[in-house]
Chains A and B, each alone.
Chain A
Amino acid sequence: MKKLIKNGLVYYKGAFVKKDILINKDKIAEIKDKITEKADETIDAKGKYIFPGFVDIHSHLRDPGQTYKEDIVTGTRAAAKGGFTTVCAMPNTDPVVDNIATVEFIQRRARDLGFCKVKVIGAITKQIEGKEISEMASMQEGGIVAVSDDGHCVQNGKLMMNCMKYAANFKIPVIIHAEDYNLAGKGQIHGGKIATQLGLSSIPAIAEEIIIARDIMLAESTKAALHVAHVSSAKALELIKQAKDRGLPVTCEVTPHHLTLNEEACVHFDTNTKCKPPLRSEKDRLTLLEALKSGLIDCIATDHAPHADYEKELEFDKAPFGINGFEAAFASLYTHLVAKGHLSLERLVEAMTSAPAKLLGIKAGVIEKGAPADLCIADLKGKVRLTAENMLSKAKNTPWINKPLQGKITATICDGRVTWQA
């Protein structure tokens, strides 16, 4: 089965060039200015852009155990619609992914039912309770790409040091959700002027920064590879910059919502803006954007965090934290950053494809001869309006719902199979 994609502007070796792409089964067989070979199916991508399939190293598929929020089928379908061909699932499911059996269960379900490839991230500590080291080496044999207690943060510094030593022993990257529980307290939104105005308890940026500082020092002493999830504050970036300048193996990601929104988005008590870390000040947002441009921030990750409608349809301080990410990711970033000239399309695509793939050693994120046939086709002028009816995720908790966006993914191909078509 051969597919030929003709006349598209392809993200190839870091630039957009007009190329034809020939797919044979699950691999890219050829990329040339013009391919005349006969294929079983020809797609005319004239006027459209072709990106490597997006790679998300931070998502919550909620499967097993919380399938009322999302499951592997709906989660990966939503991912495919958003242009993703590989997503990494965080381990805070029920049961927690802290053993090889659960790793294999998720991988098998994803292989059988998924609309994109799913890589599993195992827990740092058993039950993500922050008490005992999980069986990370066994989970690594089962295929995990990293460990994280995401959603939770190991508070005990001694234990975290041992976890990182142990992870370093097996060369497993450690992803942290940086949050000092005492400093964050019962905080609901960023400790800034909107928290003062709304009378909501605040999560000060220092709750995140102090753990990042601690874990950078632990990374230095344990030689573990440290990846900071969803970095959100300007000071946190200073700490990461210092670490990188010293040559430490420290990397970080930023979410689409922290790049496009600030604390002001919470002013109408919209629980779809409630997330951790919280949307911070405009100054923080601008600093994140600069850091993404300069490469200080390595990549973009959605932190896709679906929650059922009735869970979010509550008083602000009673609703859970989290933003639904897959379907709005590219369009929100394209509309608010690229189309307005704040970010190049090349850097956006790199930060959603090759950069995250490289970071966790996943073979994905590039269009080249012999690579897996993972790609998505985008109509940059295409209008996007997410609604409760057209979203494929089970959950609808995105601040972009019913808002006009631009940059439509018209098709997604994963391992040569069409997984989404608009």
Chain B
Amino acid sequence: MSTNFNFINRNVFDLDDYSAEEILYILEATKGMKEINLREYKKIPTLKGKTVCTLFIENSTRTRMSFELAASRLSADVVSFQESTSALSKGESLQDTVYTLNAMGIDLYAIRHSSPGSPQLVHKYSGKPVINGGDGRHAHPTQALLDIFSIWEKIGSLKGLKITIVGDILNSRVVRSNLIGMKKLGATVTVCGPRTLMPGQMEEVYGCKVQYDLKTALKDADCVMGLRMQLERQTEGLFPSLEEYTKHYVLSKDTIKWAKKDALIMHPGPMNRGVEILPEIADSTQSIIIEQVANGVAVRMALLFLILGGKA
């Protein structure tokens, strides 16, 4: 594969800024990183002297840990900023927070924030590369990359694959980034969920298929991804009860039969066992849910390595 890609100092706001070839290059790099994670001493000195800041203004323990592990394994220094213990809750603006952090000499920010577009702001204020670790319902490109890597590693190519994503599409940043990335690599994606949890004009925006009926949506699927169903959507008046949701949209032994035999089962976590997915499926041999988590660290290592110009 050609290595004429330049990732140095690039932002990862979402996958629309990256070509199919660049995404494939990231996947190759991830493969190399995954190998490091299997060693007894999981550390290489490549980013020694660089400082990565995880700027988490919305709580997310696992994504933050994944970024921090990734940075540590490449020997970068890591500092963590969390809203609960920070000045932001005292009324400091994001702009001032970033100015302050930047003065301490940060080389790259990984940000999680409830407001769409906030990674762009962090870049604007810092002038440093920013990796989006999830901005509201907008995008979650590293999750999409690890999902794509997990499929790519198992099947080899996404070209012509049929991927079905089931659940709360409206509130999912994971879906939005996956739709962009999976389409670039040639997969056909179907999103499925009740109409109240489906944003408008999905076909037009993403070139995906929209189904409201699980059986139709799962037909011939090579991969099936469940999404976390949050109880708070019930109080928002979007659906009547988890029981009724489960009855129509759960991934179970019975419903997964509608997909291809041996279809990959995925979930970005955290799972609500018994709501959107049953343990019989989540823990089955078809499931790659735990591997997704492992791949998350490797994907983030690959991005940090490429963006901060690590020496191979």
Contacts and interface: CB of A to CB of B under 8 A. Distances in A.
Nearest to A191: B200
B141 to A, nearest CB: 13
B115 A315 contact: yes
A195 B113 CA distance: 17
Contact of B205 (A193, A200, A268, A314): A193
Contacts of B200: 191-193, 195-196, 202
Contacts of B121: 269, 315
A315 B118 contact: yes
A196 B120 contact: no
Given A315-B94, A316-B115, A199 B201 contact: no
B202 A317 contact: no
A199 B176 contact: yes
Nearest to A201: B137
A316 B117 contact: yes
Indicate the member of A196, A316, A317 with the most B CB atoms within 10 Å: A196
B136 interface: yes
B173 A199 contact: yes
A199 B139 contact: yes
A94 interface: no
B201 A196 contact: yes
Interface in B160-176: 173, 176
B138 to A, nearest CB: 4
B270 interface: no
B32 to A, nearest CB: 32
Interface of B: 93-95, 113-118, 120-121, 135-139, 173, 176, 199-202, 204-205
A196 B94 contact: no
Contacts of B204: 193
A34 interface: no
A360 interface: no
B177 to A, nearest CB: 10
Nearest to B120: A269
Interface in A167-225: 191-193, 195-200, 202
Given A192-B200, A199-B137, A200-B136, A316 B95 contact: no
A302 B88 CA distance: 35
A90 B199 CA distance: 35
A416 B270 CA distance: 70
Contacts of A197: 176, 205
Contacts of A199: 116, 135-139, 173, 176
Interface of A: 191-193, 195-200, 202, 268-269, 310, 313-318
Given A268-B120, A314-B94, A198 B138 contact: yes
Across chains A and B, which 8 residue pairs bring their CB atoms closest together, nearest first? A269-B117, A199-B137, A315-B115, A199-B138, A196-B199, A193-B201, A316-B117, A199-B116
A235 to B, nearest CB: 15
A195 B93 contact: no
A189 B137 CA distance: 14
A152 B122 CA distance: 33
B99 to A, nearest CB: 12
Contacts of B118: 315
Nearest to A316: B117
Given A199-B116, A199-B135, A313-B95, 16 more contacts: A192-B201, A193-B201, A195-B199, A196-B200, A199-B138, A199-B173, A200-B138, A202-B200, A268-B120, A269-B116, A269-B120, A313-B93, A314-B93, A315-B113, A316-B116, A318-B115
B156 to A, nearest CB: 30
A336 B176 CA distance: 33
Contacts of B135: 199
A200 B173 CA distance: 11
A296 B196 CA distance: 35
A191 B136 CA distance: 17
Contacts of B201: 192-193, 196
Contacts of B116: 198-200, 269, 316-317
A196 B203 CA distance: 11
21 contacts: A191-B200, A192-B201, A193-B200, A195-B199, A196-B199, A196-B201, A196-B202, A196-B205, A197-B176, A197-B205, A198-B138, A199-B137, A199-B138, A200-B116, A200-B138, A202-B200, A269-B117, A310-B93, A315-B113, A315-B115, A315-B118
A4 B123 CA distance: 55
Of residues B116, B120, B135, B204, which shows the largest number of chain A Cβ atoms within 10 Å of its Cβ?
B116
B199 to A, nearest CB: 4
B179 to A, nearest CB: 10
A230 B199 CA distance: 26
B137 to A, nearest CB: 3
A317 B115 contact: yes
Output the residue of B117, B121, B135 with the most chain A CB within 10 A: B117
Q: Name, among A193, A199, A314, A316, the residue most crowded by chain B CB atoms within 10 Å (CB to CB).
A: A199
Contacts of A198: 116-117, 138
Nearest to B177: A199
Nearest to A310: B93
Nearest to B137: A199
